[in-house]
Amino acid sequence: MAAINLLVTGAVFSTQAGFSALRFANAAIAAGHSITQVFFYQDGVTQGSALSVPLGDEFDASSAWGELADKQGIELVICVSAGERRGVLGDAQAHEFAKAAHNLHSSFRVEGLGVLHDACLQADRTVTFK
């Protein structure tokens, strides 16, 4: 079975990228494949905001990704520079830039593009969702 790395670049409410990537991840796992990492880049970092408040019938991205990560042990990583530009900050970034609080969901972590590069080298394939 294949080791698959996911790259999500689409924003949480203006694209289907996160929802499609999550469905793909669940289907791949059900088929016996493994998801090595999900990297959120560009507008995709908005998937990791703990402060998003979707309507009752909308996709709750950060919670859904967090549930998958907790059950399957999958790394959820947002790009540090893309997150900073879009106001999705971990505790360290909030402190560094003297912001009142961080808003990164607890299941996500912040890293640079080198982590994506390493994950792509280790996986059998990388699938991108825009």
Specify the CATH number for the domain of residue 17. 3.40.1260.10
* CB of 96 closer than 8 Å to CB of 86: no
* CB of 110 closer than 8 Å to CB of 93: yes
* C-alpha span between 15 and 10 (Å, rounded): 6
| 57, pLDDT greater than 90 | no
Position 58 scores a pLDDT of 85
Tell me 43's DSSP state.
G
* CB of 38 closer than 8 Å to CB of 8: yes
Position 56 scores a pLDDT of 85
How much is the mean pLDDT over the chain?
A: 96
What is the tally of structural domains in the chain?
A: 1
* C-alpha span between 126 and 128 (Å, rounded): 7
Confidence of residue 102 (pLDDT cuts 50, 70, 90): very high
- The 10s digit of each residue's pLDDT in 2-52 is 999 999 999 999 999 999 999 999 999 999 999 999 999 999 999 999 999
| 123, pLDDT greater than 90 | yes
pTM, two decimals, is 0.96
Query: Could you list the residue range(s) of the whole structural domain that residue 77 is in?
Result: 3-35+42-129
Name the catalytic one among 79, 88, 89, 119: 79
79 is catalytic: yes
Please give the distance of CA 28 from its chain centroid, rounded to a whole number.
17
